[in-house]
Amino acid sequence: MKFKSSDISTVIIVNKNSEPKTLRVKTKHISRLRHYAIGIASVIVLLGGVIVYLRSQNSRQEDEKKQLMAQITKLKGQAPVPAAQVKSNGNAQNYIQSIEGKLQKINNYLNKRGLKGFSTKGIGGNGNADAAKLTDDEAYSLYDEYLDRLVHAVAFTPMGYPHISALTSYFGYRSDPFDSGNAEFHPGIDFQGNRGDAARSTANGRVVFAGWSGGYGNCVRIAHANNFETLYGHLSRISVKVGDDVTVGQKIGEVGSTGHSTGTHLHYEVRKNGKAINPISYLTLNN
């Protein structure tokens, strides 16, 4: 195919150490050079913004997780204080009341996640007749045991993100992505991702299913404490097997688009007593 002379422009490349060289380029490309440069710059700026956003999200979630664990660790560090030392300061009841206040704060966090609230009654510091019979050493010992149980409960309760990224679909009724004329109930939330990105467990637990599950495609289900279960769907690869004990943050698979899926993403569900509940309440400590 021959081009008209007006369709071609000649670019002269001058080099002081050699003969000038010429390069023939379609004229339309030179006239569009500015648009190309603006487009490339826009893509670079957009990618930079996405990276900054994801890093800030990751940092915020890590800070919130540490906030709750720090509260519990602080309480455990305070519990073993010798009774004689507390008696000498005359602050035994103040010390116990301080622990109760912090326990209540943690309790409020857990209540907002749909967990059954706990009570300090019977632990040893609520001022009833039985508590009055306890020595300070016995009261501290009871609190220490209780904090151990609380740490276990928090570790086995789904919290945080299985994949740090933006949400693309939420819990509840939505338009069917395969048929916009119909509505469907979406029992979880979807996280944007690329094929091969890590999907991680949001709590300690045991794998009760790992394989193909209809519309979920490659799917992993993990059982946790208090009748909680989490589900991770549309995986491109599964990294665990049934019976495996997993810990918070452990990789259980990779993001994909298997099953009933219109694109690469991670589908995530939180179930309580077998019923799907809104995972949004479990993403941050302050919900």
Q: In the chain, what is the straight-line distance between the N-terminal and C-terminal CA atoms, in Å?
A: 66
> How many Å apart are CA 8 and CA 170, to the nearest integer?
53
The DSSP symbol for 61 reads H
pLDDT of residue 273: 93
- Domains plus CATH for the chain? 62-155 (no CATH), 167-282 (2.70.70.10)
pLDDT of residue 276: 95
The DSSP symbol for 157 reads S
* Tokens 């380029």, located at residue: 25
pLDDT digits (tens, 9 = 90+) for 13-39: 666 666 776 667 666 666 666 677 787
* pTM for this entry: 0.58
The answer to whether the beta carbons of residues 160 and 61 sit under 8 Å apart is yes
> How many Å apart are CA 157 and CA 272, to the nearest integer?
11
pLDDT of residue 279: 93
pLDDT of residue 111: 67
> How many Å apart are CA 117 and CA 273, to the nearest integer?
16
Cα radius of gyration rounded to whole Å, the chain: 29
The structure tokens listed for 88 are 């000498």
pLDDT digits (tens, 9 = 90+) for 219-272: 999 999 889 999 999 999 999 999 999 998 899 999 999 999 989 999 999 999
pLDDT of residue 159: 85
The answer to whether the beta carbons of residues 30 and 12 sit under 8 Å apart is no
> How many Å apart are CA 168 and CA 165, to the nearest integer?
9
The structure tokens listed for 168 are 């693309």
Regions in the chain scoring below 70 on pLDDT: 1-7, 9-18, 21-23, 25-34, 61, 64-66, 68, 70-97, 109-134, 136-137, 140, 177-181, 285-287
pLDDT of residue 136: 66
pLDDT of residue 38: 80
pLDDT of residue 193: 94
> How many Å apart are CA 226 and CA 229, to the nearest integer?
9
pLDDT of residue 14: 65
> How many Å apart are CA 11 and CA 33, to the nearest integer?
13
pLDDT of residue 277: 94
pLDDT of residue 91: 56
Strand, helix or coil at 240? coil
The structure tokens listed for 153 are 């409960």
φ, ψ of residue 262 in degrees (nearest 5): -100, -5
